[in-house]
Amino acid sequence: MKKQRLKAVALSTMLSAGALIGSVAQADQTLNAILQTGQAKTTAAVQSQKRIDKIAEDTNAIVQEFKTVNKQIEGLRVYNAQQEKQIANQLKVIADLEESIDNVTVIERQIQPLILRMLDGLEQFVELDVPFHLDERRARIEQLRSNQERADITVAEKFRQVLEAYKIESEYGRKIDTYKDTLNIGGVDREVNILRVGRIALMYQTTDTKLSGAWDARQKAWVELDSGEYRSSILQGIKIAKKQATNDVMGLPILAPEAK
């Protein structure tokens, strides 16, 4: 009986030990599964944090870019506002220029006939004036007439040239001048020195100083003067015109204006 009880206790003890060992093994497997799950979660958490950090970096970059773009947009707004003002001013200038061009066209149509009338008047004046430097003065007028047909010269420049010619003619009346010329005297062509005192007197004297004469506006011809009376005065006037003598009083043949 005692032996059977001992066998039963031993068997029971062995069964209990086997059950305990089985429980420990199962607990180990469970612990390993828990540890593996925890490791997986930790790894996933690390990866998630990396993704979060990357998203945060990208977000910061986007925000900075947004701020930069906003500044650029603000700058462009200021620039565009300034450009709009400039464009508005330029449009006004263009409108003023177009109006000026229209006015210039009208003025040009009026100036061209005026220039031609001025040339006609200038030519008539030269032909009726005291006959000094005739070739030069006629050539100037002819050149001005020729310029009227040229398209490469503006109307303003044509008008300026005519005014310049009038100025030159005006200057003739305020200066004393001398130059050489050839005149027919007594049927013979003689080389003479011409003396011009403004427009009040035009005289000649042969180069040998023996013959002297003056332009008679009433007769429209040269008339001979008394060499003894005017020879020295004309010679003195020629020297003054050449800057070879100082200015002095000269007795010259000047016709008094006729009473009307």
Q: For the chain, 260 residues long, give each residue's pLDDT as a single digit of tens.
A: 555 655 555 555 555 555 556 666 676 777 777 777 778 778 877 887 888 888 888 888 888 888 887 787 887 788 778 877 877 887 787 777 667 666 666 777 788 899 999 999 999 999 999 999 999 999 999 999 999 988 898 888 999 999 999 999 999 988 899 999 999 988 889 999 999 998 888 999 999 988 999 998 888 899 988 877 788 888 888 898 888 877 766 666 665 555 44
Strand partners, 224: 213
- On whether the CB atoms of residues 205 and 234 are closer than 8 A, the answer is yes
Write phi, then psi, for 244 (nearest 5 degrees). Answer: -100, -5
- On whether the CB atoms of residues 225 and 212 are closer than 8 A, the answer is yes
Which pLDDT does position 163 carry in this prediction?
94
Which pLDDT does position 48 carry in this prediction?
79
Which pLDDT does position 109 carry in this prediction?
79
Task: Give me the helices (H) in the chain, please.
Answer: 2-128, 134-147, 155-172, 227-241
**What's the whole-model pTM score?**
0.57
What is the spatial distance between Cα 182 and Cα 210, in angstroms, rounded to a whole number? 15
The residue type at 97: L
Which pLDDT does position 245 carry in this prediction?
77
Which pLDDT does position 260 carry in this prediction?
44
Which pLDDT does position 137 carry in this prediction?
95
Give the number of other Cβ atoms within 10 Å of residue 216's Cβ: 13
Which pLDDT does position 108 carry in this prediction?
73
What is the spatial distance between Cα 100 and Cα 68, in angstroms, rounded to a whole number? 47
How far apart, in Å, are the Cα atoms of 72 and each of 64, 108, 147, 211?
A: 12, 51, 59, 95
What is the spatial distance between Cα 70 and Cα 67, in angstroms, rounded to a whole number? 5
DSSP 8-state code for residue 256: P
